[in-house]
Each structure stands twice: as structure tokens, then as C-alpha cells.
Amino acid sequence: MNFSSKLLEDAVNEFSKLPGVGQKTALRLVLHLLNKEQEEVDQFGNTLIKLKKEIKHCNICHNISDHQICNICSSNKKDKEVICVVEDTRDVMAVENTGQYFGVYHVLGGLISPMDGIGPADLFIDSLVQRVATTPVKEVILALSATMEGDTTLFYLYKRLKDFQIPITTIARGIAFGGELEYADEITLGRSIVTRVPYQGSLIK
């Protein structure tokens, strides 16, 4: 793609680094911003800078938050004794949008993936184990994507948690193999949460 301006080219290259954004889409976004008033562009840029500088992660569940403790962990309406374990913040949002879950969360920050060099030590697994060991917990729901990495992580988590003698469940496989939670429709995901099953009985032979 030939550019009439080096500044334009640099901006397009930065936008095209975003997931799912090719150069044509990046060019359209940049030209859109160029047509906006300076005040609007300043607000757009400052919002992203402020996000990066000031965003926090909850000290309890590791979800993205404006405060040291997120709104979910601090809510009196949530059942603190039921923990739903998810891969990242997008999955928290997906489960919350179902309106079918009333417990709290634990965000792992990824999945175990030896091919990508991601092991248990790279995730927030130890803090989950510590949480179960030191606070009243009556159920842990493993709500991970139905992928090879998800299943590997499920099995590892089960081995780390099984000795605590609490129910360890997993969402029902209404989500297709290879599917990710954030792309599941709310009805299917909600049903998968409600009809969750014991992990040991359904997946370990």
C-alpha cells in the first residue's frame, strides 16, 4: 500500500497491529480520526493512555478493575463461596452477561500451552489454590474454553484442587469443541453454567 504521508503510514501500521485489523481497515480508521475535531481525537488518545497507566487488576480474582478490589468481589450480592475459574476478563464479561451466575470469579490470565511456552507458573493458579485453602469455598466451577489448551488446564487445576474435598464442576459441553466462551451466545453459555457437571465424573476416565 502506497502512502502519501509518512505520518499516515505510521498511524496505519500501528492500527494494523490490533487483532483482526488489516491495513485497509486500519486506513479507514485513521482517515476517520483525521476527519474528527482535534478535541475528539485528543479525548480518544488520552482515554487509551489513561487506561494503560491507571488500570488495575483485582487483588483477589485478577480481573481488570478500576480499584484494588473489583466491583464483583466487593459486591454484597455475590456468593463469595462459589468461584468460577475463567481464562481472562472477556470470559468474565461473557458469563456475567448470561445473568445465570451469581458467584465470584478467578481469572487465570491464560491457559497452559507448552507449544507457546506457557506453563502453570505463568498463570494465576497458585493464588487460586491459596484462595481455596484460606477462604470458605463450597464449589469451584472450571469454565474454560473447549480447546486442547483448555482441557489441559482443566486437568491440571483438578489435580491441584481435588484434595480440598469440595465440588469441582465444569460447564456442560453445549459449546462446540474448539469454541471459546466469549463467542458463545448468552443462552448457550447460560445453559452450560446452569447444567454444569462434576469434573471427575464426566471427563476423567
> pLDDT confidence of 186, banded at 50, 70, 90?
low
CA distances from 38 to 6, 22, 33, 45 (A): 20, 25, 9, 11
Distance, CA of 76 to CA of 71 (rounded, Å): 10
Q: Is the dihedral of CA 122, 58, 139, 91 positive or negative?
A: negative
CB-based burial label for 12 (10 Å; 0-12, 13-18, 19+): buried
Amino acid at 16: S
Residue 174's pLDDT is: 52
This model's pTM is above 0.75: yes
Percent of the chain with pLDDT over 70: 86
Residue 188's pLDDT is: 64
